[in-house]
Amino acid sequence: MNHGWSGSFQDFLDISQDSFLQRLQRTIPDASESQIKAWVDSFHKLQVLFYTFPNLKGSLIFEYQLIRGGGRRPDVILLIEHHLIVIECKSYNEVSQAELIQTSLYVRDLANYHSAVLASNVKVSGILLLTGDTSDRVTNDPNHNIFIASLIGLSRVIQKVSKENHSHVLSLSHFLSGHYQPSPSVLEAARSIMKNEELPRVRALQSSNFENVHETIRSIIHYAQAHHEHHLVLITGEPGAGKTYLGMLVAHEFDNAVYLTGNAPLVDVLQDTLQNETFVQSLYNYKMEYLKHERVPYEHIIIFDEAQRAWDANKVDASLEKTTVGKRQLSEPDIIMNIATQGKPWSVTIGLVGEGQEIYSGEEGGLPLWNQAIQGKNVIVHYKDPASLFKHATHISKEEHLHLNTSLRSHTALNYSNFVSNFIEGNFAEALAFTQDLDTSHFHLRVTRDLDKALSVINELYTDDFKTAGVVYASGRDHQKQVTVLPWNSRYEIPSKIVQFFNRPDSEYHCRTLNYAITEFQSQGLELDFALLHWDDDFYIKDSEWRGQYFQKNVKHPLQIKRNAYRVNLTRGRDGIVVYIPSKSILDETWYMLTKNLKIPEL
């Protein structure tokens, strides 16, 4: 059973406390004494309330479990007329930020991911109910898009709703038989692919052109194979738009395909999650087969993750022990296009392009390296705007669907990536335009100068479930005492520390302990449900412009690399992110910009 107790309002008035508790304890046998005490409190207070509505039609559900929701359970759900009201009960009058965020997320999830709710015209709202408050309080909290109410306040809400005289659009049986299908994380999506499960039908996906891009790729592959041609397809997208998911999906669908990434943490975590070492492979190992052993891998379909970050020839050469092929040094695009075309009648190379995410030395050559790599190879290029860039292409094709246009990482906050892009690029007036709908979409962006408070809120946020929350930090100031950066893996360490960070809740390195922070190198391509970004004085605003220090060595555009590091870290949280700005004078203008100009709420 996916809930503790359910029934009509009259059923609830007729049931005894003992029978009620027995039903809940059968569903949640490990309930703590404090949990049982909270059930008793809610039972008595709500029975008293509903005795004042003897003719009210509708239903209650206690402890509804959000399947695939990390073990989360809203306390109470009311179905009245055309309303679904999510209620979190608190027996005290002081509420925490974590409780407000938690209630807000329940509203978002049921409104956007529950099949019965999606199929109906029901209005979803949330109430943080203070069962010990004797006032008539009902206040709207605009920062979380929910209400805070006393029992008398809830009674006022029910009175108002019950007078609307709408027909019931969502019955109890219809709701309980519905499916809760949240937008999957990268790791959940990988598991679904391996099980041949379809992508959940959620509202955010319906706003995206994901399926159109997927079908475009499939069509190009079938055409290349049928006509014995070589194709290079470059797919762009916002951070979190589903590029990794798309690449893994294609790699799984076709037998002669491989998904390559130079992102070692992503390889480690995905291979551990899938318990499979062939589905996702290390780019380094793959290219070594060609460079050192002169073997051409057999795959006809090569998916290259983060194609804009491909190493130039100097970086490749520096990583080798004087390995050369022919007279010219080879960049990573050279190597991949050689593998794709050498001795093969057809091939499709798919480059997944995360714009503005170059974060390491040797990655600044960008897409022009791919133009050099296709010279003399009779390659057809597919790209959103290829005319001036790919002069060595045999033919240039501009399909309609080559850009993933919606970030799915931040759930229903579809404009969050636009906010990040404008903020990081210094377009502050434009960034302000995208902050207005974050709270209404139940995405929680907060700022604070109190690190202990930030850690406390995140510690409380996911207390009884399996969601991920952790600290992210830009590399370059690792010696600071306020944050300990996750050590890089030992060569012989199994599982690696990054695997422990994401996949091992019993490890001291696990993200939820908040003991360690991951940098942009360890977080890119992965994600947390909630992130705490520890800002620092390596990237700051002065005179309304971005400045930086403690730059990475051997890069052509150090400020841009630093900018990209913060862009990556700002887009790691799925449910939200708290930005901690230390109390350093050099960061005062950054703080002022966020809180005053951009109107980001303080934690």
Task: Name the DSSP letter for residue 487.
Answer: P
Q: How, if at all, do strands 83-90 and 76-80 pair?
A: antiparallel
Give dist(CA 520, CA 259) in Å, integer: 21
Residue 467 has pLDDT above 60, yes or no: yes
Q: Where are the alpha helices (DSSP H) in 254-394?
A: 264-274, 283-291, 313-319, 332-341, 368-373
Above pLDDT 90, what percent of the chain? 46
Residue 67 has pLDDT above 80, yes or no: no
The HSE-up count of residue 517 (CA atoms within 13 Å, CB side) is 24
Decide: 347 and 232 in contact? Cβ < 8 Å. no
Mean pLDDT of the chain: 86
pLDDT given at position 204: 53
Decide: 219 and 399 in contact? Cβ < 8 Å. no
pLDDT tens digit sequence for 473-487: 998 875 566 788 888
Residue 203 has pLDDT above 60, yes or no: no
Query: How would residue 363 be classed by pLDDT, with cut points 50, 70 and 90?
Result: very low
Q: What's the helix, strand, coil split of the chain in %, to 5?
A: 40, 20, 45
pLDDT given at position 386: 57
pLDDT tens digit sequence for 123-154: 999 999 999 988 999 999 988 899 999 999 99
Could you tell me which of 524, 516, 514, 517 has the C-alpha nearest to residue 567? 524
pLDDT tens digit sequence for 97-110: 899 999 999 998 89
* Phi, psi of 4, rounded to the nearest 5 degrees: -85, -55
C-alpha distance across the termini of the chain, in Å: 37
The tokens describing 439, both together, are: 């709270």
- Domains and their CATH numbers in the chain: 5-177 (3.40.1350), 187-404 (3.40.50.300), 416-597 (3.40.50)
Q: At what angle do helices 17-27 and 33-50 cross, to 10 degrees?
A: 130
Q: At what angle do helices 210-227 and 243-253 cross, to 10 degrees?
A: 40
**Is residue 227 helix, strand or coil?**
helix
The H or E element spanning position 592 is: helix 588-592
Residue 49 has pLDDT above 90, yes or no: yes
**Is residue 331 helix, strand or coil?**
coil
Residue 541 has pLDDT above 90, yes or no: yes
Exposed (0-12), middle (13-18) or buried (19+): which is 544, by Cβ within 10 Å? exposed
Query: How would residue 361 be classed by pLDDT, with cut points 50, 70 and 90?
Result: very low
Report the length, in residues, of the chain.
603
Query: How would residue 538 be classed by pLDDT, with cut points 50, 70 and 90?
Result: very high
Query: How would residue 319 be classed by pLDDT, with cut points 50, 70 and 90?
Result: low
The HSE-up count of residue 463 (CA atoms within 13 Å, CB side) is 10
pLDDT given at position 277: 73
pLDDT tens digit sequence for 374-411: 999 999 999 877 567 888 999 888 777 888 877 777 76
